[in-house]
Structure 1
Amino acid sequence: MSDNNTTSTATALVDRHSNNRRKRLSAGLTVTSKVFIRSRNGEPMKIVREHYLRNDLPCNSQKCDKNCKDLYAINNSSPILSSEPDKLLNGAPHYVILDANIILHAIDLLENPICFHDVIIPQTALEEVRNRSYPVYTRLRSLVGNDGSSTTEDESKRLIVYHNEFSEITYVERLDTDRESINDRNDRAIRKLCSYYAKHLETTGIKIVFVTNDKDNKLKAIKNDGIQAVTLAEYIELLPNADEIRDLVPQLESPAASTSKDDIIQEEFTYPEYYSTSRILGGLQNGTLYRGNIQISEFNFLEGSISLPNFKKPVLIVGAKNLNRSFNSDQVVVELLPKSQWKAPSSMALDSEHFDVGDNPDLDDVGGNENDEEMIITDKERRLLVQDAIQQQNSNKLFPTARVVSITRRSWRQYVGQLVPSSIDKQNPNGVQNCFVLLMDTSLPKIRIKTRRALQLLNKRIVVGVDSWPSNYKYPLGHFIRELGEVESAQAETEALLLEHDVEYRPFSKKVLDCLPPEGHDWKAPVNLQDPEALRKDPLLSKRVDLRDKLICSIDPPGCVDIDDALHAKQLNNGNWEVGVHIADVTHFVKPNTALDMEGASRGTSVYLVDKRIDMLPMLLGTDLCSLKPYVDRFAFSVIWELDQETADIVDVKFMKSVIKSREAFSYENAQLRIDDPQQQDDLTLGMRALLKLSKKLKKKRLDAGALNLASPEVKVHMDSETSDPNEVEIKKMLDTNSLVEEFMLLANISVARKIYEAFPQTAMLRRHAAPPSTNFELLNEMLQIRKKMSISLESSKALADSLDRCVDQNDPYFNTLVRIMSTRCMMAAQYFPSGQYSYDDFRHYGLAVDIYTHFTSPIRRYCDVVAHRQLAGAIGYEPLDLTHRDKRKMEIICKNINKKHRNAQFAGRASIEYYVGQIMRDNHSIETGYVIKVLNNGIVVIVPKFGVEGLIRLENLTDDLSTSEFVEDQYKLSFKNKNSGEMRDVYVFDKLEVEVKSILDPITNKRKAQLLLR
């Protein structure tokens, strides 16, 4: 191939722009070209890349007295930076320019309304942030807008992005690669932007302050470019309100560089240094190192695990040194330990509450003992740890072990916790103090922060961020962000659990709300689908099918206002049944790539708490315009089958956008009463009875095919209608009408999945549930075999379902439910995925025993369903599918986010129930039935079905004489001298016990929880 040839991509690019190039040049654009010679299949190939530079980018300052004013009309924009920006202590008004590292580490400060106003974000820094931390990038984008020139909702902030990489004035070429790294070039580009603004605004009196913690970059900015450059800490001290901000500043400087008396500490405790990048890359390539996400044990915070390819069992990581500063969910690189160091999973329950929280953070945070055991409070627990270690060595259940040698991606986020009272110097109420924050998630380590408000923050829920974890610090360093309120106040605790589970709960922005119909609640579906005026507004209206004559109703939980789905049934002349599932047509209102759509995609799902609902979409849509309320016309997406009256087999299926009018909105209980009432013989009731009969046939076919009937300890908290206080807990009841709705929603999801996969085989939005590996059930099977002479089969979902049916104790009807609950915890999590990501055989939903599945029936509360609606509309030719949902890579990103948000929403809902159950029990206690689900070296884990709670009864609460206790691992038995009776007692897994249940406020974590005591 000759040097004059180019790749087809480059050629197409040149051809596409050849006619416009002269126009661009005449409009004030310059073009830089780069030529690369690459080899493909041994042939040289010339690639030409053109970079357009503009000279018409305004500075965005309202005070600018140069020609920028003429450029706003060209760019259809207006200046944002204030003409009277904040003043420094010396009285100088100023704008701020930040580098990427400041943004990455101080994003909390950037979002705070008390500082950082009139900020210029260099495009260079923005792109670096995007490459290094997408979560921080999205937070930054919410401040500056997607176009890089809009402000946050707080009009006082005024943040902009200046596209210095496309400006003729600020663009810099990279010098010879031997002399300048990419990072050095980027630093130089940002300094040039600072110089441009300083010179451009010289006559306005507005100063430019460049904030960077890079010492070399700061020095060059001052010496070579004459720029006022400062570190973040120095910048804060230049502000008039520095006293308000100091506590919020992240600890970015190296601890070793600190000269504070409080920080002069002995380096007795050190973590192993991480491997170099070259060693990591080489090890990953030659197979001596492995990468994955670490999961810290819920029972032992000094034990983690990581699932690796080609390993049947998870690899254990045991001890603080081997965990090596990793947080739960961090992406880490591990190195396997010799087989002589392999261990069995710990049988000790250990959480970070049992660190010595009386440690002085100034003296002992770094100093300490090399042994993890020395961190434990009591001699009793130390003895148990030694016993546990011996049992691990003698166990025949050894797991491979490893140590963390690098952390490639941190999972750090904002955390909620409270100051440890014993770490506060009450003699120094207003001075700077190093304090410990104990996090609500007790599997995580304490965080060391500096604050001047220690006494004010006692007994408050506070939000903190993690800044760093140096190798010579036993605990990570962080900073205070804000306080949420008093411990145990409903508002503070609810906000805390939302933050802990990364749930977006802030009000919808003006940009999002501007996407809603201007008619608001007065919006109405047109009476005539062929009305010319209505068709002018919505040309697709003529494709809708009018189904307002159908006897449609909805069946939902009591008080449901966001009604996603409704049903109807009508017998056909041939005796078969026409059955329709009608789903809220959310995509009529939520158009692709709008602010409303992007917000829904980001939130992923609605979150249901005991006392409130955090909506995925604004209430106008969720509870009104989209909600299939009765007696009003609503747009829907309908799936209508012809079902065989005898077998409920599908004879035919049709998909259509429709207009419906629901006749009634039933609760599950009211629908059941109406179906069961023989006096009710109207057509609507007859249709519901037909639906119930057909649903039972559908369910039988599913179960016969191997669908699983699992269980979870679900309870419902009742709130007082006047005070909104929780007053009662009950186990959720399942009626036939629950199953009726479930079966037809499943059928709709399966039918839609087949249709969209047929139309979009690479990007169809699907949901899969992988078969569990046999190792997941090893422990449960062993417990069942030893204690009950039972076992669970895993050859197929049908075999599993049948074996679960056989796990019956004639003396205890709850035992089967207990086994199903424990089996649920052994299953894999279901996941959303684009169809091109897996082969068809891997699409299978194991729990439902179907070959293909999606979520289509709840678009008001799930973004997956929104995508499925758009794809189904494209599949039936209603409207073209947006390119985003035809791009496999983008679909993978969407699926990854909604998988995460779906999981977080489930955890947040459970945490809300746990909090309110604790509030109900706080003033009383009761004796309830509990079941042992885990036996440990130092206690037993018991579940109480009535409240849906489980807890650890520690050994010290079972006996006063620990020397008599014995843990027999191969029998899942704990023997001890009963504290109450003084007699020896054996407790086995699956035992039914009487336990005292009461609510206590943990003195260390200030978190209310259920305390269980053996009777």
Structure 2
Amino acid sequence: MLRNKAFVKKTKKGGVVSVVKEHYLRDDIYCGAVPCTTCGHSTPVLTAAPASLDTVGPHYLVPDTNVFLHHIDFMEHPGTKDVVIAQTVLDEVRHRNLQIYNRLRTVIANPDRRFYVFSNEHHKATFIEKTDGESINDRNDRAIRVVAQWYSTHLAAHHIAIVLLTDDLGNRTHAEAAGLHAVSVRRYADLFSAVPELVDLVGANGDDDGAVPSKPEAIEYDEYLPPTVLTSGIKAQRFFQGTLSVAAYNALEGSIIANVPGAADNKIYVQGRKALNRAVVGDVVAVELLPRDQWIGAADQVIVENDDDPAVDGDGDVTMTDAAAPAAPAEPAEPNPNALPTGRVVGVIKRNWRPYCGTIDKTSVSMASGTSTQSVFFFPMDRRVPKIKIKTRQAPALVGQRIIVSIDAWDRGSRYPSGHFVKVLGPALDKETETEVILLEHGVPYEPFSQAVLNDLPPEGENWLCSPEELARRRDLRHLPVCSIDPPGCTDIDDALHVRNLPNGNYEVGVHIADVTHFVKPRTAMDTEAAKRGTTVYLVDKRIDMLPGLLGTNLCSLRSNVDRLAFSCLWEMSPAAEIVRVEYTKSIIHSKASFTYEEAQTRIDDDRNQDELTNGIRVLNSLAKQLRQMRLDRGALTLASPEVRFRLEGDAQDPVDVELKELKETNALVEEFMLLANVSVAEKIFATFPNTAMLRCHPTPPPESFLQLNQALEPFGITLDTTSSKTLSASLDAAVVPSNPYFNKLVRILTTRCMMQAVYFCSGTLPRDQFRHYGLATPIYTHFTSPIRRYADVIVHRLLAAAIAHDSFAYGEELTNKDELAKLCDNLNARNRLAQHAARASVELFTHVYFKGKTLVEDAYVTRVLKNGVSALIPKYGVEAAITTDQDVWKFDPTLNALEAMDGSTKLRVFSPVKVSIEVVEISAGSGAQKVVMALVDPKPSKVVAAMEVDKAEAPAPAASSASTSRSRTSQGRQKRQRRA
């Protein structure tokens, strides 16, 4: 049956046109139920014996759109089965939330779940027209009720009930009036006794309409401005839009990137609970700038904990822990010359809530309540996220477990957001559980590769051999003295090198990179999955691969004594490392040896080794040193980071030792030739694809990034000249204190933190003068040398193959669509950052395991000074943490950015050597999360002197004890407030 659907559409120029589309209605669309004998379908989905509901017996579910949008965790649970999804619902979900739509499609594809998509919009009996005066939402709700009614009638003879699942009170009322069974999600979970844990998966907005609202809490946030007001305000620059970042050490300090006219900083700071106004890290927010006299500096205190409930201080008075608490009028504050743009959140443009890993606060759990529903607090592992209130029947069983919780809502009158339990991961502090938490928290895809991806692997498996046809298309370099040099235990070997003498006295130097693109073709399932993962993630005890192991550690890995496909860069170089020419070719190689850095270094150092490979490594090392010096002469930076390496033992892979990574000459040897290959390839692909070359730039850091570091260097008579990378490099070389051999490395570590992040970009999206890689001092750069573990390199390999027209290499839009490549760069940048953060979190986890049960005293250096403490780095372990100092012993000197002892005996500045104790403790009672805690051991001035000075200044002798006690109690109250701020 053919019908016409007519509607009006607005054109780009503002005109209105009438559109008529043909809409076919059919009578052969099946119900999908096994017991049905009238439809005649061959592959039914819905079982003949569905689960029984306490009130209606065996039943199928017909959910409305909002059930999926607000309760997708509930619908994903294995206990939710035999679900009819109306086409109306599926289309609405796709239009309103693509992420949830993709999750729903995954469930539909699982035959065990029995989710059936019913094409009601094309069924003669269920298609409905929109009536005059009826909204689209009301029409769609009516369409879903019609589906439920049709199924009820269609399956009446089989005694299977249809339950309409909706939280909309009006929708339920209309359904019940038509004789349908209709319940809210929470009511359904209560009635469905077969799967009691479903109750915990109901979102906070899954209660019946008309429920009595909870009593407002002590704080009430400002109401968000309407979207129309926000949009117009952003255009008029009354408001600023940006993604909210939150400080790792203070959950109540946020910021967005914004260009404020007349401000030196490109950030707007948002400080305090009321100013943040229910925004969570990652949310896209609209911020209103406060008057300039209300601008404040960035938070400069150590925040000890995140336990910010109202408390009673030492004097028995209620302590207002809110940044919005009314402040007592004081003398007019002097203008702060260091004040930064400060604002408040007036609206949320887009929520970025995600499932959060963490632990139930055991102090909020009644262990005697059994399986009754409790409201408890959940501590997210991400300390930038506030506590979350959830309702659960499993509270006693969840204590001590790592669980996942999702946020559902955050009402104006609620101090904390409300959410729901999703699932248990495992026992807290268990290494396997904590590693899974790290992967989930950083969005690292770690599921096994799908069968579709595995189907793209060579069918011969490990027995794959290069075909004669493929060999004929490549340059045969198997006779060359090729070898690889990698870290110990490396199995995914991306690169290998060779050198040989040429008759004219020059050298042929080759860098050979695994030819991953021979196996990973564009637009295949494997290619799509590799692009999604973006990079291999390296944790302390495991690796999450970008490609299946058959490729990453076997067929593509340039292991020794086997033939392997490669993409080779071949240079002719003079003995002075001057490049005469460069050539690129697809090749086949046969590596003669796989060395570790230490093994290669030993060969270089032992003069008795005079074999071809060893002498070749010596030549490469000599050339690498010259290449490095040329880079440094151009202004390349040599920076540093406190990287550590754990020695693991036993089946449990427990850390038994931790040490700083030691770099050898052979590390630099490999690095120099990889950098040279990356630069050479960047020049080649940009020359061929000026608009769609995938490149990598390192932006020039703004001068203000170095203000604090230069201030810290002033007492040593040192200044970092940031005019260019060359002047900065020279300054770093000169930043030496003879009495402190670690000083220069510490300066380089702190300089690294002043740098911008290097990023991938599509060449057609930036002007040529922004291509420069600041740290490497090169005008153009890319990543070519690690295609096994980086997807960017895969794209670069394809670009290079096209640039050299290897075997008439065929390529399509994947290399010429600038917009799509720009989106890919954004994804790869995000994946790269998350992989780095996951690796650091893994190091932190193993650091906690190593120090558990230990209290050690070690040498450290101050890396930051705050009003009530310092941050310190222990070189031996590469561990850095904040130290809270006693404010009755230390006072902050803002002019020197130093903490000065009250007795005048010493000052703590950046770079000051100290001795600290280090141990691992629980972050807060009931959180189940741990952190490294340092305490100052030396210097430790006397507290008695400070108390005596207070006595003399504030009180006569007879009242000295009272005055001292009063100050002490006041200080204790102040410190509590700071910890909870």
Bigger RCO (CA 8 Å, 6+ sep): 2
Residues in 2 aligned to 1:256 and 1:45: alpha-carbon distance in whole angstroms: 39
> Which residue number in structure 2 is paired with residue 764 of structure 1?
693
Q: Which shows bigger deviation, 185-194 or 478-487?
A: 185-194
Alignment partner of 1:883 out of 800, 805, 813: 813
Map residues 314-463 of structure 1 onto 2, 5 A cutoff: 314-350=267-303, 352-356=305-309, 372=322, 395-463=336-404
| AA aligned opposite 2:361 | V
Q: 1:427 to 1:923 in 2, by over 3 A?
A: closer
2:789 is the alignment partner of 1:861: yes
Cα contact 1:766–1:835 (8 A) shared by 2: yes
Q: In 2 relative to 1, CA 1014–625 (structure 1 residues): closer, same or farther, beyond 3 Å? A: same
User: Shift of residue 160 of structure 1?
Assistant: 5.0
Contact 1:792 1:803 in 2 (8 A): yes
Give the deviation of 1:686 after TM superposition. Answer: 2.6
* 1:769 counterpart letter in structure 2: H
C-alpha distance 653-203 of structure 1, shift in aligned 2 (>3 A): farther
Q: Does 1:695 align with 2:629?
A: no
Q: Is 1:89–2:18 an aligned residue pair?
A: no
Asked if the contact 1:352/1:444 (under 8 Å) is kept, the reply is no
| Residue from 932, 948, 971 that aligns with 1:1010 | 932
C-alpha distance in 2 between matches for 1:510 and 1:973: 60
**Aligned residue number for residue 847 of structure 1:** 775
Match of residue 236 from structure 1 = 189
Give, in whole Å, the separation in 1 of the partners of 2:472 and 2:126: 53
Instruction: Give, in whole Å, the separation in 1 of the partners of 2:855 and 2:483.
Output: 43
Aligned to 1:117: 81
Report matched runs for 1:556-595 at 5 Å.
556-595=486-525
Match of 2:969 in 1: none
Aligned equivalents of 2:588 and 2:659: distance in 1?
39
Q: Does 1:825 align with 2:753?
A: yes
CA–CA distance in structure 1, aligned partners of residues 624 and 50 of structure 2: 66
Cα shift at 1:802: 1.9
Between 304-313 and 320-329, the greater mean CA deviation after superposition = 304-313
Letter paired with 2:911? F
Q: Which amino acid aligns with 2:567?
A: F
Cα distance, 1:395 vs. partner?
3.3
**Whole-Å separation in 2 of the counterparts to 1:291 and 1:586:** 41
- Residue of structure 1 aligned with 2:443, choices 502, 513, 524: 502
Distance 1:851 1:87, change over 3 A: farther
1:194-217 per-residue CA deviation (whole Å, 9 max, x = no partner) reads 455555555555444332323334
The more displaced of 867-876 and 473-482 is: 867-876
Give, in whole Å, the separation in 2 of the partners of 1:450 and 1:69: 43
Deviations 1:459-513 (A, max 9, x none): 2222211111111100011111222222221122212222221222222233332
Q: Is residue 2:215 matched to residue 1:265?
A: yes
Shift of 1:907: 1.1
Partner of residue 546, structure 1: 476
Question: Which amino acid counterpart does residue 517 of structure 1 have in structure 2?
Answer: P
- Match of 2:200, SS state, is helix
Give the 3-state SS of the residue equivalent to 1:920 in structure 2. helix
Give the Cα separation in 2 of the matches to 1:118 and 1:842: 56
The CA deviation string for residues 712-754 of structure 1, in whole angstroms up to 9 with x for no partner, is 1100011015552110001001111111111222222222223
By how many angstroms is 1:426 displaced?
3.5
Are residue 619 (structure 1) and residue 549 (structure 2) matched?
yes
CA distance in 1, matches of 2:322, 2:231: 30
> For 2:460, which of 519, 526, 546 is the aligned residue?
519
Q: Match for 2:671: what amino acid?
A: E
How far is the alpha carbon of 1:53 from its aligned partner? Answer: 4.5
Q: Distance in 2 between matches of 1:46 and 1:497?
A: 53
Corresponding residue SS for 1:672: helix
Deviation at 1:894, TM superposition (A): 2.3
Q: How does 1:41-440 map to 2 (within 5 A)?
A: 50=21, 53=24, 55=26, 59-67=31-39, 69=41, 78-90=43-55, 92-113=57-78, 115-144=79-108, 150-151=109-110, 155-161=111-117, 179-194=133-148, 197-198=151-152, 205-223=159-177, 227-253=180-206, 257-259=210-212, 264-310=214-260, 312-313=264-265, 314-350=267-303, 352-356=305-309, 372=322, 395-440=336-381
TM-score normalised by length of structure 2: 0.88
Q: 1:642 to 1:333 in 2, by over 3 A?
A: same
Name the counterpart of 1:660: 589
- 1:349-383 CA-to-partner distances (Å, cap 9, x unmatched) read 22553424989xxxxxxxx98761599xxxxxx9x
Q: Which of 380, 388, 406 in structure 2 is aligned with 1:465?
A: 406
Match of 1:638 in 2: 568
Q: Which residue of 2 aligns with 1:21?
A: none
CA contact (8 A) 1:844 1:850 kept: yes
Aligned counterpart for 2:895 among listed residues 953, 970, 973: 970
Once residues 746 and 735 of structure 1 are traced to their aligned partners in structure 2, the CA distance between those partners, rounded to angstroms, is 17
Contact 1:65 1:204 in 2 (8 A): no
CA pair 217-612 structure 1, distance change in 2 beyond 3 A:
same
1:607-1006 mapped onto 2 (5 Å cutoff): 607-649=537-579, 651-654=581-584, 656-785=585-714, 787-878=715-806, 879-955=809-885, 959=886, 962-976=887-901, 985-1004=906-925, 1005-1006=927-928
Q: Which amino acid aligns with 2:747?
A: V
* Distance in 2 separating the partners of 1:887 and 1:953: 51
**CA separation of 1:156 and 1:397: change in aligned 2, threshold 3 A:** same
- Read off the aligned partner of 1:674 and give its amino acid letter: R
Change (3 A) 1:142 1:524: farther
How many residues align? The count is: 925
Q: Deviation per CA, 1:913-958, whole angstroms, max 9, x where unpaired?
A: 1121222222333321111111112211111111111111112xxx
In structure 2, how many angstroms separate the alpha carbons of the residues matched to 1:439 and 1:53? 51
Code of the aligned partner of 1:938: N
3-state SS in 1 of match to 2:53: coil
Structure 2 unmatched ranges of 5 or more:
313-317, 938-981
Percent same amino acid among aligned pairs? 42
| Contact 2:218/2:415 (8 A) holds in 1 | no
1:548-601 alpha-carbon deviations (Å, 9 max, x no partner): 222221111100111112222222223332222222222222233333222222
Secondary structure, aligned partner of 1:69: coil
CA contact (8 A) 2:216 2:414 kept: no
Q: Secondary structure at the match of 1:653?
A: strand
Structure 1 residues 609, 453: CA separation in 2 closer, same or farther (over 3 Å shift)?
same
Asked whether the 8 Å contact 1:294–1:330 carries over to 2, the reply is yes
Q: Distance in 2 between matches of 1:822 and 1:870?
A: 38
Q: Which residue of 1 aligns with 2:942?
A: none
**CA distance 1:646–1:248, shift in 2 (3 Å):** same
Provide the rounded CA distance (Å) in 2 between the counterparts of 1:631 and 1:518. Answer: 23
Q: For residues 29 and 779 of structure 2, what CA distance do their matches in structure 1 show? A: 55
User: CA offsets per residue over residues 419-444 of structure 1, 9 Å max, x none?
Assistant: 22222223424321111112222222
Q: Displacement, 1:985? A: 4.1
The question of whether the paired residues in 2 share the 8 Å contact of 1:351 and 1:442 is answered with no
Amino acid at match of 2:67: I
- For 2:85 and 2:637, locate their aligned partners in 1 and report how far apart those are by CA, in whole Å: 53
Aligned-pair CA distance for 1:243: 1.8
How far apart are the structure 1 equivalents of 2:285 and 2:619?
55
Tell me the amino acid that sits aligned with residue 968 of structure 1: D
Whether contact under 8 Å (1:569, 1:578) holds in the other structure is: yes
Cα 1:608–1:851, aligned 2, differ >3 Å: closer, same or farther?
Answer: same
User: Structure 2 counterpart of 1:764, which letter?
Assistant: A
Rounded to whole Å, the distance in 1 between the matches of 2:522 and 2:40 is: 34
- Taking structure 1 as the reference length, the TM-score comes to 0.85
